[in-house]
Amino acid sequence: SYIQGVLDAGEEATLRQHLANCPACAEEIAVYAEIPNVLNVAVPAATLPVGFSTRLLERAVPIRALPSPATPVRSRARSLPARLPWAVAAACVVLALALGGWNWQLNTKLNRQELELAQRRSTVAGVVDLLGRPGVIVRDAGVSEDGTRTRLYLSREGDLAMVVFDGMPPPPQGRVYQLWLGDSGETESVATFTPNASGHWFRLLSPTGGVRGYQNVGVSVEPPGGSPKPTTRWAIWTGL
């Protein structure tokens, strides 16, 4: 209730006073407070059912049938040109090609959306797994020069971690951020990214062998697509 902001002023003040004197509860609140942020980024927005707008308009503005003509209109027989069947066949071929291309594009889009949805579900499952483990370590790395606050969540087993950025400014135009793991002077690329409009971004870290073999996590500014090695000074560099 506290995380969702539904407590009244008195209850919230009492809880805040308790958290100020209870490190264990404060740490637990810090863990669960991240779940709404993760779900807000990872879960796609709901879309309206197909045909919803049409059905809504039909109910709002009933369509009246046009009156029948007083006298039937005679149809005039005309001879079909000899080339008309060929024109119809050509039009059918063009239509079939157009529909085939549209169908391919639609299938490609649906496959991409299904893949993205599966990845998001996997991410949410990983976050819930990490934050639900006993003894998860929460580390506040502070605020960098550009105003970015970095927080780290590490499993006690050392196999899984999560880095969370808040208040992160957008990268320079034509550039992206690149996330790195560091170990004894060597760096390994994790992902390129751009934070959302509110400056929030997170990433689960589950490298082969776990995160215990790495000492640092860093962010550099790179060209689109990233770089094999960092090419700029660190925007963020903190212990893992």
Q: CATH number for the domain including 231?
A: 2.60.40
Q: Give per-residue pLDDT as tens, 48-67.
A: 566 666 665 666 555 555 55
Q: Which residue has the higher pLDDT, 119 or 200?
A: 200
Backbone φ and ψ for 185, nearest 5 degrees, come out as: 90, -15
Q: Are 123 and 162 within 8 A, CB to CB?
A: no
Q: Which residue has the higher pLDDT, 103 or 1?
A: 103
Can you tell me whether residue 134 is helix, strand or coil?
Answer: coil
Of 7-16, 41-50, 79-88, 92-101, the range with the highest mean pLDDT is 7-16
Please tell me the predicted confidence (pLDDT) of residue 45.
Answer: 53
Q: Give per-residue pLDDT as tens, 172-189.
A: 999 999 999 998 778 999
How many independent structural domains does the chain possess? 1
| DSSP state letter for 83 | T
* Residue from 26, 219, 16, 1 nearest 138 by CA: 26
150 domain-assigned: yes
Backbone φ and ψ for 177, nearest 5 degrees, come out as: -85, 150
15 domain-assigned: no
64 domain-assigned: no
Q: Which residue has the higher pLDDT, 162 or 116?
A: 162
Q: Give the C-alpha separation, 176 to 230, whole Å.
A: 12
* Residue from 171, 155, 184, 167 nearest 219 by CA: 171
| Residue 29 pLDDT > 80 | no
At which residue do the structure tokens 């594009």 appear?
105
Please tell me the predicted confidence (pLDDT) of residue 158.
Answer: 87
71 domain-assigned: no
Q: Are 192 and 176 within 8 A, CB to CB?
A: yes
* Residue range(s) defining the domain that contains residue 144: 137-239
At which residue do the structure tokens 């509110």 appear?
198
126 domain-assigned: no
Q: Give the C-alpha separation, 123 to 159, whole Å.
A: 15
31 domain-assigned: no
151 domain-assigned: yes
Q: Which residue has the higher pLDDT, 219 or 129?
A: 219
